[in-house]
Amino acid sequence: MKINVLDKGYVRLVNVMGSDLTVVNSARVSYAKESSELTEKDKSLIRFLAREGHTSPFRHATLQFEVYAPLMIARQWWKYVVGSDHTMDAWNEASRRYITLELENYIPKTNEWRSKPANSKQGSGVPLSVSLGSELTERLMKQIQQGVEDYEFALEQGVAAEQARLLIPSAYGMYTAWYWTGSLQSVAHLINQRVASDSQYEFQQFAKAIYELTKEHFPVSIEELMSQNNN
C-alpha cells in the first residue's frame, strides 16, 4: 500500500486499526448495541455523526503512515500534530544526528516553477517560463552539489554527524522520512485542509495520496467527513 509522490517521495500505509464498522459500534455502545456488518442504517448513522459534528466515534479508528517528503512539507505537516486538540497523534522522524542518510532533494523540473500569486502573500500563481525555470533548476542543482561535497568532506574529516549536517544544502527541499499515526478524524482534517486549491501544490499531492490510502479502509467515513467540510 504505497503511492509515489513528486519526484522521489512516497506515502505508505503501514498499519490500520478499525473500519467504518468501528465508527458505528463506537457510537452505538451508548445504547449497548453492536453491528456485525455494515448496513445502510449504519451508513446513515455515519452520515449523521459527520453532519452533526459528533466526532468522537471517528477517533476510535487509527491509521499509521510512513511518509518520505521534502522538509518544507514535513514542517507544515508537523503543525497538525502540535496543534491537535481532539486526538493524540504520533510522529517519529529519521535523525541525521545519529545516522548518515543518503542525501536526496526535491528538484522541480524546468516547467514546474511557479510565480507568486497576484492577490495573496502565500501560494502560487501561473507557471513561469521554461527558460527561467531552466536557470532556477540549474542554480538549485549547483547549490545542492556544493553542499553535498562540503557535507561529505566534513564527515571524512571526522566531524560529528550532528554538526556535519549544518553543511547539508537546500534545507527546504531535502527529503526526510517519518512515521505518522493519527485517528481517522485527524487524518480527515489534514486531507480536507491540504487538498484545498489554495494549499501548496506539493502538499496537495501528499494529501491526495493519504486520501487514496484511507478510503480503501474507511470508504463511507472519509467521504462523509470530507463532504461535510466542503458544504
Yes or no: say if 201 and 112 are a contact pair by the CB < 8 Å rule: no
pLDDT at 86 over 60: no
Cβ neighbors of 159 (< 8 A, separation 6 or more) are none
Single out the catalytic residue among 28, 97, 165, 194: 194
pLDDT at 197: 85
pLDDT at 81: 78
Q: From edge to edge, which strands make up the β-sheet containing 90-93?
A: 2-5, 9-17, 62-70, 175-183, 90-93
Rounded distance between C-alpha atoms, residue 226 and residue 231, angstroms: 9
pLDDT per residue as tens digits for the range 22-57:
999 999 987 777 888 999 999 999 999 999 999 999
pLDDT at 87 over 80: no
> Residue holding cell 535523525?
95
Active site residue 194: yes
Task: Give me the chain's average pLDDT, please.
Answer: 89
- Look up the pTM and report it: 0.88
Which residues, listed in sequence order, are joined to residue 4 by a DSSP beta bridge? 10
pLDDT per residue as tens digits for the range 54-66:
999 999 999 999 9
